[in-house]
Chain A
Amino acid sequence: MVVFDKPHSLNEMSMHYCPGCTHGIIHRLVAEVMDELGIEGRTIGVAPVGCSVMAYNYFNCDMIEAAHGRAPAVATGVKRADPENHVVFTYQGDGDLASIGMAETVHAAARNENITVIFVNNAIYGMTGGQMAPTSLPGQVTQTSPYGRDVNHCGYPIKVCEMLSQLDGPEYLERVTVNSVKAVRNAKKAIKKAFQNQLDGKGFSLVEVVSSCPTNWGLTPQQALKWIDEKMIPYYPLGVYKDRSAGEDK
């Protein structure tokens, strides 16, 4: 009896992510959810520009690589090409979703576009080597904030779930993390709900996954997971920020 296997929705490519990076966990969760909902064959994923740019290689479903920040607009097109049959998700980092692609994010949410958004927030631009992100914490040292993020000079981080929760449009917004077994289980529940909402026609569902970047944080993988608890979660509290249909079913 097989007790643990690779999800069918992930293929055999070996991932390029750094040791200790949590992208691998999040990819796996998305793939497990596709398997469990039996939607791999009709899912189209939209990859971002950033560390997960090559997500199109790893998922077994049809994939599209979008321009930087434009994934929600591309997803809007794919979804509307065949709303009955296409299941569409975007997989985006913080620079992609909350900086260059903020307009696309906000308007897809405002339209309650019936797509699923997986938002990986690790508070840094990873692929380009560790620059300040729209979600970098006050005081956080990065390549482009070498003396620490000075909020008087370059402003404050953007809390995406809180901000989007002010809109009437979106169906479901939840922030989770993946730095412990319990957290991973919870994250999977949220991701599954975000896909199920789409299947039920409920609309825009975004799961923000507070993630780690040991390489660019200058920490060991273990220290990085701890840093999530100590620094990230106090600024980005976990929880459900919007769930319009909560309590409607069952």
Chain B
Amino acid sequence: MADKVLMKGNEAIAEAAIIAGCRHYFGYPITPQTEIAAYMAKKMPKIGGAFLQAESEIAAINMVYGVAAAGRRVMTSSSSPGISLKSEGLSYMAGSDLPALVVNVQRGGPGLGGIQPSQSDYFQATRGSGHGDYHMIVLAPASVQEMAELTVKGFELADTYRMTSMILADGTMGQMMEPVSLEFDVKPAPEKPWATVGTKLQRKHNIVNSLSLVPEELEQLNFERYEKYNYIKENEAMYEEYLMDDAEYAIAAFGIASRVAKNAVNEARKQGIKVGMIRPITLWPFPVAPFKKAADKVKAIISVELSMGQMIEDVRLATECKVPVTLCNRVGGMIVSPEQVLEAIKEVAENGGAK
């Protein structure tokens, strides 16, 4: 059994990134994720890495773009308003097929919003975030251990598919402390013959670029990128099922909401209600399979979210609207309570799933 250390979620991300071989971090201060930058500022100079506080989120993501173009593992982190600013760069990175890790420790919005936890950037994360047809791999940790594990996994997936991986956490996940094991088998970065590191006069020059002025060619590039996305959908979806074997009702929840919902599921079971939970770990690709399966056996699904109902759309798509899907939520930095989720479960159970 590996030794465990007590860490904040944000620190676990930073340490796991270093373990994954990331030696370049660029960021701009924003609550509630600043511990990541502080950790990197302390550690990077000691291990031959580079930490740089950029002049803006926009500059930070473009520094990431530069390091990624040079083939190195690189990351940035921010919180909701900062991710909006980075979204230009995220679109360019998708258009140039560059791998990197981006962390969003979400806070309530829109606008400047608040600084308390939220999951209201689900649409932004799973629908690309910037302009154009593209996706990021979106990973949703539900513990400090997963903050670390999914950071390592995020770098590996990014390199495998030449995409951005995003850790979609929230203020609670970032700030809370839990014991975490930091022993990982890290897959080393693959060869990157496309990287701009100088030709050494040995090959034709490499160009990292997202401009393509010929419509037929740009269309083809989009087609090829979506073939890759389809492969990822088939092969990389991750989820956890909790007490789903005999479940008559299901909760859909990710991240901190799933932690709360699990308590409510346990309490409901004590009260004789057969409820389980499907917890997406990848939000993109969305784990369609367990929901499809659930749609044929449960009477109703409750989507527990810290948003006005964003993941619920994917749940409805995955279940093809075969069963009613209701929303149980708090927003603006408020967090659902186990009691609230339990009430929602009881309500659908009393109605036998009918709306």
A residues contacting B by CB (< 8 A) are 11, 40-44, 46, 53-54, 56-57, 59-67, 70, 73-82, 85-87, 103-104, 106-107
Q: Does B208 contact A (CB under 8 A)?
A: yes
CB of B67 closer than 8 Å to a CB of A: yes
Give the nearest-CB partner of A79 in chain B.
B66
**Interface size, chain B (Cβ < 8 Å):** 40
B355: chain A residues at CB < 8 Å are none
Query: Distance (Å) between the CB of B53 and the closest chain A CB?
Result: 10
CA of A70 to CA of B86 in the docked complex: distance in angstroms? 12
| Beta-carbon contact of B67 and A65 below 8 Å | no
A73 to B68, CA, bound (A): 13
Do A103 and B24 touch (CB < 8 A)?
no
7 A-B pairs, CB-CB below 8 angstroms? A40-B201, A57-B207, A59-B205, A63-B205, A70-B59, A73-B63, A81-B67
A82 touching B55, Cβ below 8 Å: no
**Do B55 and A64 touch across chains, with their CB atoms under 8 A apart?**
no
Q: For A53, what are the chain B residues with a Cβ–Cβ distance below 8 Å? A: 211
The minimal Cβ–Cβ distance linking B158 to chain A, given in whole angstroms, is: 15
Please indicate the chain A residues that have their CB under 8 angstroms from the CB of B196 in the complex.
44, 62-64, 78
What is the bound-complex CA distance between A73 and B65, given in angstroms?
9
Pairwise interchain contact A60-B199, C-beta atoms closer than 8 A: yes
The 4 closest A-B pairs by CB, nearest first: A77-B66, A73-B62, A81-B70, A62-B196
Could you tell me the distance between the alpha carbons of A86 and B205 in the complex, rounded to whole angstroms?
A: 14
Q: How far is the CA of A87 from the CA of B198 in the complex (A)?
A: 8
Assembly CA distance A65 to B72 (angstroms): 18
Cβ-defined contact, B55 with A70, below 8 A = no
B67 partner residues in chain A, CB cutoff 8 A: 77-78, 80-81
Which residue of B has the minimal Cβ distance to A76?
B63
- Contact partners of B56 in chain A: CB under 8 A: 103
Once the chains bind, are A103 and B59 in contact (CB under 8 Å)?
A: yes
Q: Which residues of B contact A57 (CB under 8 A)?
A: 207
Within the complex, what minimum Cβ distance (angstroms) separates B49 from chain A?
A: 10
Given A56-B209, A74-B65, A80-B50: 10 more A-B contacts, CB < 8 Å: A42-B198, A44-B196, A46-B66, A66-B92, A74-B66, A75-B66, A81-B70, A86-B198, A107-B54, A107-B59
> Is A44's CB under 8 angstroms from B197's CB?
yes
State the CA gap A106–B55 with chains docked (Å).
9
Residues of A within 8 A of B205 (CB): 11, 59-63
Min Cβ gap B298→A in Å is 46
B199 → A minimal CB distance (Å): 5
What are the residues of chain A within 8 A of B160 when measuring CB–CB?
Answer: none
Alpha-carbon separation in the docked complex, A245 to B60 (Å)? 30
B:42-92 near A, CB below 8 Å = 50, 52, 54-56, 58-60, 62-72, 74, 88-89, 92
Q: Is B230 an interface residue (CB 8 A)?
A: no
Q: Which residues of B contact A103 (CB under 8 A)?
A: 55-56, 58-59
Chain A residues, CB < 8 A from B52 = 76, 80
